[in-house]
Amino acid sequence: VSSQELTQHFLDRIKRHDPQLNSFISITEEQALAQAKAADDQRAAGNATPLTGVPIAHKDIFCTQGVKTSCASKMLDNFIAPYNATVVEKMNTAGVVTLGKTNMDEFAMGSSNETSFYGAVKNPWHTDYVPGGSSGGSAAAVAARLAPAATGTDTGGSIRQPASLCGITGLKPTYGRVSRWGMIAFASSLDQGGPMTQTAEDAALLMNAMAGFDPKDSTSTNIEVPDYTADLNKPLNGLRIGLPKQFFENGLDAAVGKLVQEAISQYEKLGATLVDIELPNTHLSIPAYYVVAPAEASSNLSRFDGVRFGYRCNDPADLEDLYKRSRGEGFGEEVKRRIMIGTYALSAGYYDAYYLKAQKVRRLIKNDFDEAFKNVDVIMGPTAPHAGFKLGEKAADPVSMYLSDIYTISVNMAGLPGISIPAGNSNGLPVGLQIIGNYFDEARLLNVAHRYQ
């Protein structure tokens, strides 16, 4: 098929099915069809990459030139990005077609996609349930086949957890592997963009296009990008899989635990050996994250002041009033909660007690992983402690919502890569297996993920 036919097919599916799911904030039909035409011409001229003409969707946290980039916030409801994020630019160079921008939790703060200014996203497997978050729109769109692939971002689990709850593949690369330039910042030392796809092979193809050094991102790492498709079929004989005791303890839903154990035993059949390991500081990852991430968010979100861009209140009395009401009216509840926690944690007198302490805990978490990777090649466990939960079930209880990321957050704290792949269904709702790798070992993660499918 031509890219124009393919693009039209997905645009039609979005129009037909997205009203039930709410996975898109913007649909960029006109641009998509123009990109598809250009892709068809490229292909006819013999200038195609494997992604030329492939339609995808971008999480609405990535700046897209000339297109609304809202971060699912009222604050940026009127913001048209004047430039493309590096990820978007790289994907465009590879020839992809952008179908639109996907829904998400406001400023990527959430695990259920219920904090979006544009309303909750529904899980395509059962629309009474959440798709996970914060990249819930991307996960739902890929799961419902409204787009073959999408981008996401993961600060504490936001690619892997919704991938798990929607039954797709989601890869959070090593911190520094994918440029953060033009990706609206939440917690800069944790944020990382990555692919959300149906298969590990698709994720490898997207990674080939999106990874790489970017001089515009000072934390981007200047090491060569391998061909992520090259090792997909390598046999897994002798692979050492670490199973952290702390990932299978209380808090884990029994049905989820069983499915994950079954998936892991498949790997034994493929020639892998299982090694019991300890990640003793796992229980500290959520408390430390909820100091570090809000602290960084409070600083990053100070730019939304009603002056330079974004929402501005009506008839401000003076500058003070302009700041206060623009921010008060423009941000949602969860975002304000984070700004207040973060500002408090960073304030003089409390900095040492909270922020500095959390940074020290962060180092302990990283040390746990370094120790573990001396004896194993990958670490496996559940992506999330549960399958999708009902819309509204955790909305009034932030702490129970935060626990959704118990197995994913430590990976961000350490800066490691992790992937979630479908491991079966519990009561009709998908469950993910998480595979964690050593730094810059994405090719191995994709290989291990690919062999399972």
Task: Point out which residues bind ligand GLN (CB under 6 A).
Answer: 108-111, 134, 154-158, 186, 293, 405
Given a contact cutoff of 8 angstroms between Cβ atoms, the answer to whether 173 and 192 are in contact is yes
Nearer to ligand GLN, 4 or 298 (CB): 298
Nearer to ligand GLN, 155 or 438 (CB): 155
Nearest distance in Å: CB 186, ligand GLN? 6
DSSP 74: G
Nearer to ligand GLN, 89 or 114 (CB): 114
d(C-alpha 291, C-alpha 284), whole Å: 11
Active-site residue, selected from the candidate residues 116, 134, 404, 420? 134
Nearest distance in Å: CB 291, ligand GLN? 12
Nearer to ligand GLN, 89 or 405 (CB): 405
> What is the token pair recorded at 245?
């005791």
Active-site residue, selected from the candidate residues 158, 220, 285, 420? 158
- Assess whether 218 carries a catalytic annotation: no
In terms of DSSP bridges, do strands 193-197 and 169-172 run parallel, antiparallel, or are they unpaired? Answer: antiparallel
Nearest distance in Å: CB 207, ligand GLN? 18
**CB 317: neighbour CB atoms within 10 A?**
10
By three-state DSSP, how is residue 77 classified?
coil
CB neighbour list of residue 299: distance below 8 Å, 6 or more residues apart: 342, 346
d(C-alpha 258, C-alpha 77), whole Å: 43
Nearest distance in Å: CB 162, ligand GLN? 9
Burial of 224 (0-12, 13-18, 19+ CB in 10 A): exposed
Nearer to ligand GLN, 203 or 297 (CB): 297
Which residue shows structure tokens 């962060």?
Answer: 362
Secondary structure of 216-278 in HEC code, one letter for each residue = CCCCCCCCCCCCCCCCCCCCCCCCEEEEEHHHCCCCCCHHHHHHHHHHHHHHHHCCCEEEEEC
Nearest distance in Å: CB 42, ligand GLN? 34
By three-state DSSP, how is residue 117 classified?
coil
Nearer to ligand GLN, 94 or 203 (CB): 203
Pick from 133, 114, 131: nearest CA to 122: 131
Nearest distance in Å: CB 108, ligand GLN? 4
Active-site residue, selected from the candidate residues 59, 101, 122, 172? 59
By three-state DSSP, how is residue 46 classified?
coil
CA of 9: how far to CAs of 3, 53, 122, 278, 362, in Å? Answer: 10, 13, 22, 48, 46
- Assess whether 158 carries a catalytic annotation: yes
Nearer to ligand GLN, 408 or 426 (CB): 408
- Assess whether 59 carries a catalytic annotation: yes
Largest CA distance in the chain: 70
> What is the token pair recorded at 131?
């798709």
Nearest distance in Å: CB 154, ligand GLN? 5
- Give me the active site residues, please: 59, 134, 158
